[in-house]
Structure 1
Amino acid sequence: MSLFELTGFQRDLLYVIAGADKPSGQMVKERIEQDIGEVKHGRLYPNLDTLVERGYVNKGQHDRRTNYYAISDSGLQALRERRSWESQFLDGE
């Protein structure tokens, strides 16, 4: 899998999820808002669903009202490959 088909926002969500321990959607929202400003639910949850559908993120339930998101093995591998790809351009500076 490749992260090239994702939007920048989706990649950012993936990094936030990778850096947390099964965050809820609300926790992901609060964390990413620290860096980019307000994120509407109508933008957040469809993008989280895309990450789940593409197999980068696993979705489960904390309780009957709260879902959690966790990076999948393929999501973690895709992030590592992306970082390696980015490094080839930064290391030459």
Structure 2
Amino acid sequence: MYDLTGFQRDLMYVIAGQEEPHGLAIKEELEDYYEKEIHHGRLYPNLDTLVEKGLVEKGQRDKRTNFYTLTRRGRREIEARREWEGRYVDLE
């Protein structure tokens, strides 16, 4: 996960937190978080990169709608990242 951008990590967290979200649901969630519009030209190429890296799987709900899920490797990467963050951030 060290080679991902912050935006790509955020995409993975959103996908992990929803059940098979489609691109527009991911986009809306990130727009709420970033408080600005996320353009398709930023969203979909980054999702494709995560698919190419084997962290996310892309499925097809119908001819126009894809959905995304984390792969087993993607889940392991998030867990490893959270462990790493936990060594440095103690919010208790």
Number of matched residues?
Answer: 91
Distance in 1, matches of 2:32 and 2:10, equals: 12
Q: 1:76 to 1:66 in 2, by over 3 A?
A: same
Which AA in structure 2 matches 1:7? T
- Choose which of 11, 23, 26 in structure 2 pairs with 1:25: 23
Among the aligned pairs, what percent are the same residue?
54
Distance in 2, matches of 1:40 and 1:83, equals: 28
CA drift at 1:90: 1.2
Give the root-mean-square deviation of aligned CA atoms.
1.3
**Residue segments in structure 2 that go unaligned for 5+ positions in a row:** none
CA drift at 1:92: 9.1
Distance in 1, matches of 2:89 and 2:43, equals: 30
Distance in 2, matches of 1:71 and 1:33, equals: 20
Q: 1:84 to 1:45 in 2, by over 3 A?
A: same
Q: Is the partner of 1:5 in helix, strand or coil?
A: coil
Distance in 1, matches of 2:50 and 2:91, equals: 31
Distance in 2, matches of 1:20 and 1:92, equals: 25
Q: 1:82 to 1:67 in 2, by over 3 A?
A: same
1:11 has 2:6 as partner:
no
Q: 1:92 to 1:59 in 2, by over 3 A?
A: closer
Query: Which runs of at least 4 in structure 1 moved beyond 3 Å after TM superposition?
Result: none
Name the residue aligned to 1:76.
75
Q: Is the partner of 2:2 in helix, strand or coil?
A: helix
**Residue segments in structure 1 that go unaligned for 5+ positions in a row:** none
